[in-house]
């Protein structure tokens, strides 16, 4: 039995799916037979990404919008209702905040609010919104974190704080949703050669960073696990040991 046969009835939502890690995951899951709902803010880029996915029999749905917008989250509900289940929610969409990245002492508060709305509040809202479908499938929520959540790096305070909060939210949701048989994990994918990484380091050559598909061995393992067995854990996708000790 191949992967496509194993996963052909499963449904996934990937936020920030038009490029970078989100696109790599969408392509990977579609190849396994998942029906994949892709969302991102740029409609042209999102449709172009969907067109590059070799979907086979999988259904690829695009829903353009901002995950911080309640109306967009309702559109995602409408897309999921077609399948009446959600096996995987990957909260990948993120914002660095104001660029160039300011020190916290100088951080525009509106920009800080926006960073938390996208990186922290929206993932919680999506879980709340999609909870019935996740419960039906006994699904998995993956919140994309960062080493900035634990590093206290100069200039990364706004982004890092929003991801640190998301890590705690992941642990808390994992505890609270045990009775629903829903797993929740956070994953630090590591430095990658992406547009976001280039935005963070505008004057640097980032060609030495690995491409997002470097992390695929980890994702192949994670998506093969029972969500309940991994729930509450934090992983590092490029580390020699994926699980971060508690």
Domains detected in the chain: 3-236 (3.40.50.720)
Establish whether 159 is a catalytic residue: yes
The neighbour count for residue 73, using CB atoms within 10 Å, is 20
Give the pTM. Answer: 0.94
Query: Quick check: 8 and 55 in contact, CB under 8 A?
Result: no
Taking only the tens of pLDDT, the chain with its 246 residues reads 233 444 678 999 999 999 999 999 999 999 999 999 999 999 999 999 999 997 788 999 999 999 999 999 999 999 999 999 999 999 999 999 999 999 999 999 999 999 999 999 999 999 999 999 999 999 999 999 999 999 999 999 999 999 999 999 999 999 999 999 999 999 999 998 988 888 888 888 989 988 999 999 999 999 999 999 999 999 999 999 999 987
My answer on whether omega of the bond before 100 falls inside 30° of 0, hence cis, is: yes
Q: What is the DSSP letter of 19?
A: S
pLDDT of the residue at 106: 95
CA dihedral for 228, 231, 237, 241, sign (positive or negative): negative
* pLDDT at res. 1: 27
């Amino acid at each position: 039995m191949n992967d496509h046969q194993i996963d052909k009835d499963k449904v996934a939502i990937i936020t920030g799916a038009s490029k970078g890690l989100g696109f790599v995951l969408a392509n990977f899951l579609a190849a396994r037979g998942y029906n994949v709902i892709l969302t991102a803010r740029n409609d042209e880029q999102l449709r172009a990404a969907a067109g590059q996915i070799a979907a086979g029999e999988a259904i690829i749905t695009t829903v353009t919008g901002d995950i911080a917008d309640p109306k967009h989250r309702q559109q995602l509900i409408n897309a999921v209702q077609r399948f009446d289940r959600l096996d995987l929610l990957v909260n990948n969409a993120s914002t660095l905040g104001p660029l160039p990245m300011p020190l916290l002492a100088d951080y525009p508060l509106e920009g800080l609010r926006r960073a938390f709305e996208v990186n922290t509040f929206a993932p919680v809202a999506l879980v709340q919104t999609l909870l019935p479908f996740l419960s039906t499938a006994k699904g998995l929520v993956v919140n994309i974190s960062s080493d900035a959540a634990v590093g206290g790096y100069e200039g990364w305070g706004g982004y890092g704080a929003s991801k640190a909060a998301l890590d705690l939210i992941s642990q808390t949701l994992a505890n609270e949703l045990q009775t629903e048989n829903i797993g929740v994990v956070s994953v630090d994918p590591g430095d990658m050669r992406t547009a976001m990484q280039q935005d963070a380091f505008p004057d640097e050559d980032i060609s030495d960073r690995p491409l997002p598909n470097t992390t695929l061995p980890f994702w192949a393992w994670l998506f093969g696990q029972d969500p309940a067995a991994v729930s509450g854990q934090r992983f590092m996708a490029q580390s020699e040991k994926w699980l971060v000790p508690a």
